[in-house]
Amino acid sequence: MERNNLYPLFLKVKNLDILIVGGGYVAEEKLTFLLKSSPDAKVTMLSPMYRKGTLEVARKGNVNLIKDYYNINYLDRKHIVIATTDNPEVNIQVYQDCRAQSKLVNVADNPPYCDFYMGGIVTKGNVKVAISTNGKSPTTAKRLRQFFEDVIPENIDDLVRNLNKYIKTIKGDFEHKVETLNEFTKGLVEKI
């Protein structure tokens, strides 16, 4: 059986500079996904043209639009790059340039040219669940996201805040605190 060896991270993207190369439908989809999960993300988009829908999504966030063709200089001071053009040669060039500069890169719909995938995400207050299918089935990730959005209660954030307060009242070392919290929360899974 194949195994998903990806390591999940939750990035503070407001502290990172993200470049999306492209302005079409796929760029719009990636930007929508990014801003939905992280509305404070700092994004630059680079394309000689932008779809009307892409421009509308860009207005909702901290997005700098540049009308130009890709060249390596646009990678300067970028941490994460997402290539979404309809030109495979440009996308592969972006990938190669990013790898040469040790920048994280995702070439949309081309898993061999991805350092990361943008999976399904469910957010309920402070609780965030990320779903990955190892780049094999975005539709499955979407369906799992919908399932978890329905199953995780809206008031889960109240539980998180209350447990955070409760943790501060527990006396003892770290191991004791973990045991106490495990005992206190073991019924949580049954309630969800």
The answer to whether the CB of 22 falls within 8 A of the CB of 77 is no
pLDDT digits (tens, 9 = 90+) for 109-165: 898 999 998 888 888 888 888 898 887 887 888 899 899 888 888 888 777 777 777
- Give the closest residue to 37 by CA, choosing from 138, 135, 137, 145: 145
pLDDT value for 189: 59
Secondary structure of 85-107 in HEC code, one letter for each residue: CCCHHHHHHHHHHHHHCCCEEEE
The answer to whether the CB of 163 falls within 8 A of the CB of 33 is no
Average pLDDT over residues 7-20: 94
CA dist list (Å): 170 to 49, 160, 176, 189: 57, 16, 9, 22
pLDDT digits (tens, 9 = 90+) for 34-49: 999 999 999 999 999 9
List the Cα angle 152/115/22 in 5-degree steps: 90
pTM, to two decimals: 0.83
More confident residue, 3 or 12: 12
Pairwise CA distance, residues 32 & 26, whole Å? 10
